[in-house]
Amino acid sequence: MAGDPRPGEDYASVGLGYDARTRTHKAVRLLYHHGHPAACHVYDIAAATSTGHWRPAATGAKPPDLVHMNKLAVYAQGHLHWITTKSVGDADAIMSFSMAAEVFGRVPPPPGTTDMKGFMITELAGCLCVYPAYLSSERSLDIWLLTDYSTATWELRCRIDPTSATSPETNDFFLVNREVTPLVLTDDHRRVLLLSEEHEVAEYDAASGTLRRHAGPPELRRRHGDGTPQLVPYEESLVSAGRPYEDILFSPPAARAVALVLRRLPARELGRLKLVCRSWRAMIETDRFAASHNAHARETAMASFAAGCHVSLGSYYYYSLVFVPLESCSNRKPPLMSTRTVVRNACHGLVLVTDVNGERNIVHNPVTGAGRNFSFLTPRRCPPKIPEVDDGRGCAGLGYDASREEHVLVRLAYAGGEDCAAVQVWRLRDIGPYKLTESRPPIPPDVGVPPVHVAGKMHWMGEQRRLGILVFDVSTMAFDTMPAPPALPDAGGAVLATLAGKLCVAHSCRETETMSIWAKSAGDEGEWETLHVIDLARWPAFSPRAAELVVPMAVDGRDGRVLLDAGKALGYYDARSTTLETVCSCSGDDDEFINAAVCEDSLVRPYDRKCRIW
């Protein structure tokens, strides 16, 4: 059916154009959702009528055909253009969208062409241009220009036949490069500037048939991760790009008043209120509102001493991470994981779930269900059958840089033969990590368990406890150390935790079946004080003899009970009555574990708004 997406695929295509009638720029996006009709949305840029959010096309028009996934539209002669994509046996065409009338149409192909398969489009000399996607010994580079849009008149501006090149340099250029893109016409339209698939730039003279190569900047031939530098023509202009969309959304006094009211509501309730109208949805989905909502929720939680723990249990469902509230698992089997996972408390609304081998690091919002996978494995160019190589034994942690208001992933790993851990930093707004060389860990950390984040700093237990605790300031990107609790034994299991906003150390003793918990009294400069000494012998599922690792996760503000995660069981310990209430258990499942996370009521997304087109 026309307009429906391919089965199982959700994707989009965007384009930027200019409406000569209103003298404003517009962004247009085509959305294809599996199981739903295709949609067309328009965003008015720097216009007096701009609402700060996407709107349907003025005519309600919807894309009549499918277009290639994530391909940018080409603007020329007052229209945006896409090449459609259809099934085998059906001819592809050129679909257009009028920037003034906001309606879709068709552009007839150049003479002798009935199917646009194997062709590309671009803008050249202000006209729509069609050229072959690939060159061969049997196919010349024909550059067609749509010189008259109203009458669909095409002109063959240039034909380059690689087999009959007049110079060896021209022959070599087209022999090596099978993908050549025309960039711009020069010398009063007598020459055409070409860009090869290897990012070589050459200028072709159609009259003489000669080709002159240009030495471009070295960056054109470098590859940075998954990105490739782009060479595109541009024009100098003072045209404003308009105000940020968040400024437009929040500028009316009524909108600011609505935002103040909405930020007091729970995140799940706001998810339903997004359906009220487009302006509410756009407002709720902004990073500004998410940050305001998260700050208000944290202030309310800290001010309320009767606040309970928001605990969720997670598992993988069809390769996606799904969390459900602990309360919903009282009468049914909880979601389980195939490996033991330690999930630290939510860091400004987000949690990090890391595999045991560290290959997969998922930053997730358990309330909204939004998540993103971050891989620190390094791409390997040779051999091609092994696409990635492990950087060594390590683990990642999630922190928050308050100075830049952004989340940061920090991974410490030991490569083969190295005594000092390598440091990788990945700001969530960046497309990849970078290696931190300015500051190195002064002591070897224990990378078997993810670090904890407290007051803008990340903490790892030292491999040798006498050396103390490794501290990393997320804002200054500098390492430091702090002493461990003086009474911490050298033997037994020790793990860092956060309880009531304080840094804690929990030590489990297998011989005595006890757990001792120390906490910093006042930040990093305070003294260690003993919070609890818990006798776990009466509860076998939590005993250090049965559980390899027992982690204190949170303190219930209503009654002061401590939530303990033993991997196979989850329970609240009451220091006043010295009792432990098991709230979740999977002791009968030998190969499965509970994956518990203490969450915050938050709308924060684990990715930057600039990366989203939905």
What torsion, rounded to 10 degrees, do the Cα atoms 497, 599, 358, 506 define? Answer: 10
In this predicted structure, what is the pLDDT of residue 355?
A: 67
The domain limits of the chain are 11-221, 245-303, 329-340+485-598
In this predicted structure, what is the pLDDT of residue 15?
A: 94
200-229 burial, b at 16+ Cβ within 10 Å, e below that, comes to bbbbbbeeeeebeeeeeeeebeeeeeeeee
Report residue 257 as tokens.
């008043």
The amino acid at residue 540 is P
Q: Which residues are CB-neighbours of 397 under 8 A, at least 6 positions away?
A: 344, 352, 409, 410, 411, 450, 451, 452, 453, 458, 460
| pLDDT tops 60 at residue 308 | no
Which carries the bigger pLDDT value, residue 278 or residue 334? 278
In this predicted structure, what is the pLDDT of residue 305?
A: 39
In this predicted structure, what is the pLDDT of residue 218?
A: 60
| pLDDT tops 80 at residue 385 | no
pLDDT per residue as tens digits for the range 403-420: 888 899 999 887 655 566
The residues pairing with 104 across neighbouring beta strands, listed in sequence order, are: 97
Which contacts qualify for 585-591: CB closer than 8 Å, 24 or more apart? Answer: 585/541, 586/333, 586/334, 586/336, 587/541, 589/336, 591/338
In this predicted structure, what is the pLDDT of residue 175?
A: 67
In this predicted structure, what is the pLDDT of residue 2?
A: 36
Report residue 231 as tokens.
């060479």
In this predicted structure, what is the pLDDT of residue 100?
A: 94
Report residue 134 as tokens.
């690939």
Identify the band that residue 603 occupies on the pLDDT scale cut at 50, 70 and 90.
Answer: confident
| pLDDT tops 60 at residue 162 | yes
Report residue 576 as tokens.
């006043």
In this predicted structure, what is the pLDDT of residue 272?
A: 83
Residue that the structure tokens 């050229």 belong to: 131
Identify the band that residue 292 occupies on the pLDDT scale cut at 50, 70 and 90.
Answer: confident
Q: Which helix (H) or strand (E) element contains residue 261?
A: helix 253-262
| pLDDT tops 80 at residue 164 | no
Report residue 378 as tokens.
């390094």
Helix, strand, coil percentages, rounded to 5, for the chain = 10, 40, 50
Q: What angle do CA 586, 596, 272 make, to 5 degrees?
A: 120
Question: For the chain, what's the residue count?
Answer: 614
Residue that the structure tokens 């990788």 belong to: 424
Identify the band that residue 597 occupies on the pLDDT scale cut at 50, 70 and 90.
Answer: confident
Cα separation, 477 vs 470, in Å, equals 13
| pLDDT tops 70 at residue 304 | no
pLDDT per residue as tens digits for the range 454-506: 988 999 988 887 788 999 999 999 999 999 888 888 777 888 999 888 899 99
Cα separation, 600 vs 451, in Å, equals 18
| pLDDT tops 90 at residue 70 | no
Identify the band that residue 393 occupies on the pLDDT scale cut at 50, 70 and 90.
Answer: low
What are the distances in angstroms from CA 186 to CA 203, 211, 215? 9, 13, 17
pLDDT per residue as tens digits for the range 544-590: 888 888 889 888 878 888 989 888 888 899 988 989 988 888 866 66
Q: Write down the pTM of the prediction.
A: 0.72
Q: What is the mean pLDDT of residues 36-44?
A: 89
In this predicted structure, what is the pLDDT of residue 98?
A: 96
| pLDDT tops 90 at residue 149 | yes
pLDDT per residue as tens digits for the range 522-533: 766 778 998 889
The pair phi, psi for residue 39, each rounded to 5°, is -135, 155
In this predicted structure, what is the pLDDT of residue 390?
A: 47
The pair phi, psi for residue 337, each rounded to 5°, is -115, 155
Mean pLDDT taken over the chain: 81
Is the distance from CB of 323 to CB of 343 less than 8 angstroms?
no
Cα separation, 313 vs 275, in Å, equals 27
In this predicted structure, what is the pLDDT of residue 1?
A: 29
Q: What angle do CA 401, 402, 403 make, to 5 degrees?
A: 95
CATH topology of domain 11-221: Neuraminidase (2.120.10)
Interhelix angle 253-262/287-303, rounded to 10 degrees, is: 40
Identify the band that residue 216 occupies on the pLDDT scale cut at 50, 70 and 90.
Answer: low
Q: What is the DSSP code (8-state) at residue 91?
A: P
